[in-house]
Structure 1
């Protein structure tokens, strides 16, 4: 069975999705503060590796602590929801099947406790 990562075109597709996603996040007044001085290229590279690892059996394991990376940022539940909402919209625009989109968003949401400051 083909993985979600490969089903839509592998690296090229997900790079396009991430380009659109981070362009959306940068323009989103709810999230702009987190991306103003960030190395977006580095963020997209790490996120693509995370997606490849989570959505296919051929992705390399991610050896970065999601919690440690996000620790300096006071990310709230509402801001995390905005992040998920933007990702949902970009996945919809890029025509992921509903069940695949749900699976991707569930995986991303599984990192909520590592990202959000309580």
Structure 2
């Protein structure tokens, strides 16, 4: 069974993303990235990306992701905060240690694409 379905499919991951975004919007380090943004749309996109990644291990096009994030000017510290919140929420939602590590590894692989460097 794939990781997306292992924990309950779209309903589980939608609840998970809701919890993540509650934390992100309250974080003093990253909340400014979410003001004036359509959080529901972002969560829908991420739910689709989670499904693609966790069901079929499809590689997300890095050039498109880089283009989308370049104007956001996300710092390394902000990226680390996002990863930390994601990891904390994965733990709280009861994922196994190996599954948490696998998902965080996937997310961390996007660091060079998402983090803005002058």
TM-score by length of 2: 0.92
Matching of residue 90 in structure 1 with residue 89 in structure 2? yes
Per-residue deviation at 1:60?
8.0
* Distance in 1 separating the partners of 2:76 and 2:11: 31
In structure 2, what is the Cα distance between the partners aligned to 1:14 and 1:65?
23
Whether 2:99 is the aligned partner of 1:72: answer no
User: CA shift at 1:113, angstroms?
Assistant: 1.1
5+ residue gaps, structure 2? none
How many residue pairs match? The answer is: 116
Q: How does 1:8-27 map to 2 (within 5 A)?
A: 8-27=7-26
CA–CA distance in structure 2, aligned partners of residues 61 and 92 of structure 1? 24
Residue 54 of structure 1 is matched in structure 2 by 53
5+ long unaligned stretches in structure 1: none
Q: Is the partner of 1:95 in helix, strand or coil?
A: coil
Q: Structure 1 segments of 4 or more deviating over 2 A?
A: 59-64
Please, what is the CA RMSD of the aligned residues? 1.7
